Structure formats: structure tokens, C-alpha cells
Amino acid sequence: MSHKAGFVNIIGNPNVGKSTLMNAFVGERLSIITSKAQTTRHRILGIVNGEDFQMILSDTPGIIKPAYEMQASMMNFVKSAFEDADILIYMVEIGEQDLKDEAFFNKIIHAKIPVLLLLNKIDTSNQDKLEEQVAFWAEKVPNAEIFPISALQNFNVPEVFQRIISLLPESPAYYPKDQLTDKPERFFVNETIREKILLNYSKEIPYAVEIVTEEFFEDESIIRIRSLIMVERETQKGIIIGHKGAALKKVGVDSRADLEKFFGKQIHIELYVKVNKNWRSNVNMLKRFGYNQ
């Protein structure tokens, strides 16, 4: 029996539903999902295995015009998604008109590989608007197959999944068949904590934060975690901690609940906050956090 395997890379503007789609395909919450833009900072692989196929999905940061060094590094992850893709998913939402970077758009319309354009969030629209949008994108990206979907409601998602399988090239598996992702456990601890900060704090706070898990000790019944929340200014540190530590405690409680589901074990988590001025523009710090790879 022949076997198929390939890299399916998902690109698009911020907050169009890329992470929701990948998590729907993989069946695990590998990418964090919030209503705030720039939620995904890294390129995250999710691996879906079947008896005769392996689909390697890549969720990338939303395309933006970089304002500082960290965002430039995030866009490098998007560039790399064009280089190794067997299938490209370009995700847009109802009402969207163009990509925030013309160079990326030119790469999409001149791609030599299959392109699936997913028109997401159709549950927020009506039939006339949907038909208008399909016609618009058919003209704008003539090389793409268009699928109206709702990633959140799982509408048309199984059909897209089957179409991807049909387009995968014949190849042996790239990863062991029991592997879910290419990221280590600490990465998902960091992302879970960062998600809770995105959900619990406003303004610039979530975007000035990076998480480093310094200790991850696992035994049969419990995982003990110690993580650092890094901010850029003393005032941000005070906001993260909150009155009598209440805000930081909530982040810890919420993170523990999600991590216990993810790992299937009891979690003990300890959080502390440290100031590192302008880390988002510090090349050495960004390398430490895995941005400049």
C-alpha cells in the first residue's frame, strides 16, 4: 500500500483562524487561540497520522509589517513556510480584502504547489456576501481552490482535510507515527502561560511578555514546573503580579488547569516575574527565546 506524507503550511493575516484550524485538524490545542492579534509568535508543527498518510501542519504568525526585531523574526517563520511547503493554505476571513505584505501575496499567486484558499468565519455572514467574497477571491488568487469554512464550527473542515490528503505527495513518514508535534514539553508550558496573560491583561502587557520555563521535572504522578515571566518595565511587573499577588495567582491557577488536561497529570506550577529592558529588540535575547533560528 502506498504512503503519502507532506508539509501543509498555513499562512494569513493575524486573527483569521489559523490556529483554530490547525487544532481542529490535530485534535489537540497546540496553538494558543485568543481574540487578540499576534497570538502565534513561532512556527508550530502539528502532526496528523493515518495508516497510509502523515500530514505535517505548520501554523505561522499572522502576517504584519514588522515594527521591531521580534516581529521581524516572526515574519522569517512565515518566509520559511513557503520554502518547504508541499501544499499551501492561505486563510482569509469574510470581509477581508488583501494581505498586509504584497511580497507574500505575490508568492501565493505564483506558487508552483497546490494552494487552498480557506474563506473562514462564514458563520458570521449571509449567502449573498459569501458568493460575493468567493467571486472576489477567485479573481484575486486564480491558482487557488476555494473552500468556504467555519473553523470554529467545524463546517467544511472535514472536506478540506480529505482534500489535503488527496493532494499529499507519495512519501514515507517524516516523523514517528506516534509524534504529535516537533516542540518540546516546555514550549507548551510557555504557550499556555502566555495564553492566560493574553486573556487576563490588556493594552501592551501581553505583547511585552515572554515566558521561559526554567524547570520541568516529571515523575509518575506529578509534573513540577517553574517558569519565568519576562517583561520590559517595572510598571509591567507590578501589573502582572497585581494587588497582593492576586493577578499572578490567577494566571498560575488557569495555566495549571489547562496543563493538567494537556499532560494528563497533576501539575505543580511556580511563577515569578523579572524585568529585562527592551528584550523584544535584543538579538541575543530573541535567540534565547527561539526567534532567530
Residue 35 is assigned to a ligand binding site: no
DSSP secondary-structure letter at 35? S
Residue 183 is assigned to a ligand binding site: no
Residue 63 is assigned to a ligand binding site: yes
Q: Longest Cα pair distance anywhere in the chain, in angstroms? A: 62
Crossing angle of helices 246-263 and 234-241, in 10° steps, is: 70
Residue 166 is assigned to a ligand binding site: no
Closest residue by Cα to residue 198 from 184, 208, 186, 212: 208
Cα–Cα distance for residue pair 166/286, rounded to 1 Å? 39
Residue 123 is assigned to a ligand binding site: yes
Residue 62 is assigned to a ligand binding site: yes
Residue 15 is assigned to a ligand binding site: yes
Residue 16 is assigned to a ligand binding site: yes
Sequence letter at residue 212? V
Residue 61 is assigned to a ligand binding site: yes
Residue 6 is assigned to a ligand binding site: no
Place of cell 513518514: 173
Residue 122 is assigned to a ligand binding site: yes
Complete DSSP assignment for 175-241: S-TT--BSS-HHHHHHHHHHHHHHHH--TTGGGG-EEEEEEEEE-SSEEEEEEEEEESSHHHHHHHH
Strand ranges in the chain using DSSP code E only, listed in sequence order = 4-12, 44-50, 53-59, 87-93, 115-120, 144-148, 210-218, 222-231, 266-275
Place of cell 485568543: 34
Residue 206 is assigned to a ligand binding site: no
3-state secondary structure of 109: helix
Residue 290 is assigned to a ligand binding site: no
Residue 60 is assigned to a ligand binding site: yes
- The grid cell for 115 is 494552494
Cα–Cα distance for residue pair 21/59, rounded to 1 Å? 9
Sequence-ordered list of residues with C-beta below 8 angstroms from that of 264, at least 6 positions apart, any chain: none
Annotated binding site for GTP: 12-19, 59-63, 120-123
Binding site feature residues: 12-19, 59-63, 120-123
